[in-house]
Structure formats: C-alpha cells, structure tokens
Amino acid sequence: MKRRLTMAFLVLAAFGVTGMAAQSEASTAQKQQNFSSLQVQKKKTATAKKKQNDCQNPFKCLFRSSARTRRTTFFSGFGGRHRQRVAFDDPRYQPGSIVIRTPERALYYVTGEGEAIRYRVGVGREGFQWAGHSRIVAKREWPSWTPPARMIAREAAKGITIPTYMEGGPNNPLGARALYIGGTIYRIHGTNNARSIGGAVSSGCIRMLNADVIDLYDRVSIGSQVHVIQ
C-alpha cells in the first residue's frame, strides 16, 4: 500500500513538473512573439518616417530616378563617364552640331570626318519629350536655377514646395554646366543624380553626367546648332 502511494505521488509530481515546463515554454514563446511583433512594428514605423522625410527634400522627390535615393556630394556625377567616339556619317549635320536622339537616350557631338562623340543622357519623361531645331544661345558654369512657374504649380499640386530660385553649386539640380537652347525653356545640363542617366526622367531638359557635360561644354560654342529628334 505504501509503495502504491509512493508511486502515485511520483506520478503526480512528474505531471506537475511537466505542466510547469509547458507553461514556462508557452510564456517564453509568447514573449518572443510579442518581441518580434514589436520589432516589426518599429521597422515599419522607421520605414514610414524615412519615406516621409525623403519628400521633405523636394530635390529628392523631383530628381531621383527610383525609390532609393543617394546622398548628394560635391563629387556626384563626376565618377566615370558615358561617352565614346563613334562612326557618324550624316551629311545633314555640320561639324560642331549637337544631335540628340531621344529614343536612344544619346547625344552626339559631331566632330566631322565621319565621327562624333556619343554621350549617354537622360531625356524628358512621358508627356515632356519634344523635338525641333535650334542653337545654343548661352553657356553657364555652375548655373543657378529658376524653375518655371508651371513646374512650381505642378509640384505644388502634389504637395511639394520648390524654391523660386536656387544659387548654383554642387547641390543645384542643374549640375556643373548648362547649355541653353534658344527659343525654349530647356537646357543641356549636368546632374547630381547619376542614376537618372539613360532614363526618361526630366521635365524636358537633357541631363548628362557632370564629367560629360563639362567635356561637352568645352567643345561647344554659342551659336552651335542643336537638333532634337524623336
């Protein structure tokens, strides 16, 4: 009888320990789940704040080419280059002319003797592309930027406020150089957003790497012909 009581006591004790262990494991699992949920919530909140902060800077919202943004530095757009000498034998364009082929995302500076320098560029996005013939009427180093009233109103409708004027410099979206196309509001200019080169991203202007626009700037004279082809 005593042995049976002892066995019964041991069985009850074993069940008690097992129950306590299971309860402890459940409590630990619940804590881990709560911690994981808290971490996910914090991550979502941080991501939301980051996205909100991105659009506090109108230039990130206007000039970035993807959801990912890069920090603008003095050297942005100076690394590497997108230019090469190519065969170009089209008698319609004189040496010293600029030919922009929008579908190719390419600008050609005609050097003559059947050659041209080909630069990779960014062009106007859908609804802002254009075609025509003109001349370079002005050149500026580290140009200032005065956004057109239409751009200011368009971005204001999206909740983005842009300045009416911005001094030239490394943080200016026009980059290191600008060539002004006569009879239009458009320019061939540098950019601090190297990722936008090769895309349809602008409001009609032609974008180049800063290194490339400096190279073109030194070759082009005021009065040089510009041909934009769709």
Active-site residues, by number, are 189, 205
CB-based contacts of 111, cutoff 8 Å, min separation 6: 85, 88, 95, 117
Q: Of 104, 107, 108, give the one whose Cα is nearest residue 88.
A: 108
Instruction: Read off φ and ψ for residue 100, nearest 5 degrees.
Output: -110, 120
Whole-angstrom distance, CA of residue 213 vs CA of residue 173: 13
Whole-angstrom distance, CA of residue 63 vs CA of residue 72: 11
**105 backbone φψ class: left, alpha, beta (φ>0; ψ -120 to 50):** left
Q: Tell me if 208 sits within 8 A of 119, measured CB to CB.
A: yes
Whole-angstrom distance, CA of residue 102 vs CA of residue 114: 21
